[in-house]
Amino acid sequence: MAKGHRSQIKRERNEANKDTRPSAKLTYARVSVTKACFVLDAIRGKDVQTAVGILTYNPRYASKLIEKILKSAIANAENNNGMDPAKLYVEECYANKGPTMKRIRPRAQGRAYRIEKRMSHITVVLNER
C-alpha cells in the first residue's frame, strides 16, 4: 500500500500521466459546436503554416477565434516546450459543448418562443513531426 495522504498519491499519479503536448483552449466561445467543427475539420492534421493560411482566408466567424487559439498554442510550444514552430502540426482540435443562454422571443397571440444561444469550449493540441 502506498504511503502518504490521498491527495499526495493522486498528485504523484497525475504527474506521471501528464500530457506534455502544447495546447491552447478557449472556453465559453460564443459560437455553436457545429459551426466551430466546420472550421476545425479543415485544419485537423495540417502543419501550422497551412492551418494559419486556411483560417486567415476562411469567411466563417469561428475561424477568427480558432486562428487566435492556434497562434496561442504555437507560442506555448515555442516558449514553454522549446519546440521549433516549423515542425509543428495540428494533432487534435475539437469543440465541446458549453452552457446555453436561454432567451425569449415574442410571437403571435402572446406566445413566447425560446431562443438558445449556444456556447462551446474549443481546444487545439499541437505536436512535432
**pLDDT tens for the 129 residues of the chain, in order:** 557 788 888 888 888 888 788 999 999 999 999 999 999 999 999 999 999 999 999 999 999 999 999 999 999 999 998 899 999 999 999 999 999 999 999 999 999 999 999 999 999 999 998
| Architecture in CATH of 19-128 | Alpha-Beta Complex (3.90)
Per domain, the residue ranges of the chain are 19-128
Q: What is the pLDDT of residue 2?
A: 59
CA gap 129, 65 in Å, rounded? 25
How far, in Å, are 40, 41, 43 from residue 54 at the CA level?
A: 10, 11, 7
